[in-house]
């Protein structure tokens, strides 16, 4: 942010007739003007029925993948390699994932929404979770101390699925994280994330009226004069800047 920038939030407001103080709920829309470049986001239920924010043209503002499978920053102790000396087996073999050194019990999160296709024990990986995602992607989380999901379960991006451990062939607590596309292992550190989800033409028919209504309220809030309209189906709305 810099001097002269402006922002505006359209917030859902619930008012009571008994004199109770109003409560504020969801942020319905946001607008930020950064040195003349305008960023906007509008709340809308995604194709799975979960509210998230979209740009004016219907592109999701949520990244397709999180940048890390750990909720807290961690040191990378071993990189993706086609030939790495294994510290336990004492042989050279591929290491098809990225190792994150972290204390035992550190929360492990799904980097994207998907369905759990395996949650259990593997000989080398110890306690392991495998998740299938859209567009042929699959992620794997190895050496866990605990597993919090089950096979067949739907998980959301950022959901806690396990905890760092040292099960299987591991010299110490860490997460061995792996990602595949159509069965081929990829280097997560060099992976170009897939493009954000975009609403279909049919979904845009529902999204566009709400977007235009919210945008009009924000525009009127930034312009001189009072804001008298409401945001439609929400109890009431209030813009703040």
Residue that wins the pLDDT comparison between 228 and 161? 161
Confirm if 77 and 116 have CB atoms less than 8 A apart. Answer: no
Quick one: which H or E segment has residue 102? none
End-to-end CA, the chain: 14
pLDDT given for residue 81 in this prediction: 78
Place of tokens 């451990």: 165
Quick one: which H or E segment has residue 201? helix 201-222
Per-residue pLDDT band at 208 (split at 50, 70, 90)? very high
Task: Please give the Cα distance from 118 to 127 (Å, whole number).
Answer: 10
The chain-wide mean pLDDT, for the chain, equals 87
pLDDT digits (tens, 9 = 90+) for 3-53: 778 889 999 988 888 888 989 889 999 999 888 889 999 999 876 778 889
Residue that wins the pLDDT comparison between 91 and 240? 91
pLDDT digits (tens, 9 = 90+) for 141-161: 999 999 999 999 999 999 999
Task: Please give the Cα distance from 100 to 106 (Å, whole number).
Answer: 11
Handedness of CA 128, 136, 199, 40 (dihedral sign): positive
List phi, psi (to 5°) of 210: -65, -45
Nearest Cα neighbor of 171 from 140, 147, 143 is 143
pLDDT given for residue 90 in this prediction: 67
Given a cut of 60, is residue 192 above it in pLDDT? yes
pLDDT given for residue 201 in this prediction: 93
What domains are defined for the chain? 6-62+197-240 (3.10.450.350), 75-190 (2.70.70.10)
pLDDT given for residue 71 in this prediction: 85
Q: What is the mean pLDDT of residues 93-122?
A: 94
Given a cut of 80, is residue 86 above it in pLDDT? no
pLDDT given for residue 230 in this prediction: 47
Nearest Cα neighbor of 162 from 74, 71, 62 is 71
Model-level pTM? 0.72
Given a cut of 60, is residue 233 above it in pLDDT? no
Given a cut of 50, is residue 236 above it in pLDDT? no
Given a cut of 90, is residue 177 above it in pLDDT? yes
Strands of 35-113 (E only): list them. 37-45, 51-54, 75-78, 81-85, 92-95, 98-101, 107-109
pLDDT given for residue 6 in this prediction: 83
Tokens read off for 186: 């990829």
pLDDT given for residue 92 in this prediction: 62
Given a cut of 60, is residue 68 above it in pLDDT? yes
List phi, psi (to 5°) of 59: -95, 135
| 101 CB burial (10 A radius; 0-12, 13-18, 19+) | middle
Q: What is the mean pLDDT of residues 108-118?
A: 96
């Amino acid at each position: 942010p810099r001097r002269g920038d402006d922002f505006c939030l359209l917030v859902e407001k619930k008012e009571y007739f008994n004199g109770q103080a109003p409560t504020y709920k969801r942020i319905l829309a946001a607008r930020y003007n950064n040195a003349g470049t305008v960023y906007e986001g509008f709340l809308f239920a995604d194709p799975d029925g979960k509210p998230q924010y979209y740009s004016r043209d219907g592109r999701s503002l949520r990244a397709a993948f999180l940048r890390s499978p750990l909720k807290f920053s961690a040191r990378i102790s071993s990189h993706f390699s086609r030939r790495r000396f294994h510290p336990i087996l004492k042989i050279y073999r591929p290491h098809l994932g990225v190792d994150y050194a972290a204390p035992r019990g550190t929360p492990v999160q799904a980097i994207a929404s998907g369905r759990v296709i395996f949650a259990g024990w593997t000989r080398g990986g110890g306690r392991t979770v495998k998740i299938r995602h859209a567009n042929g992607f699959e992620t794997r989380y190895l050496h866990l101390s605990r597993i919090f999901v089950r096979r067949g379960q739907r998980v959301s991006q950022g959901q806690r699925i396990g905890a760092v451990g040292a099960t299987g062939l591991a010299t110490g607590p860490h997460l061995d994280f792996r990602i595949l596309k159509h069965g081929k292992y990829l280097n997560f550190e060099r992976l170009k994330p897939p493009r954000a989800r975009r609403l279909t033409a049919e979904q845009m028919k529902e999204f566009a009226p709400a977007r235009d209504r919210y945008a009009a309220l924000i525009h009127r809030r930034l312009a001189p004069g009072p804001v008298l309209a409401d945001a439609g189906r929400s109890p009431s709305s209030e813009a703040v800047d």
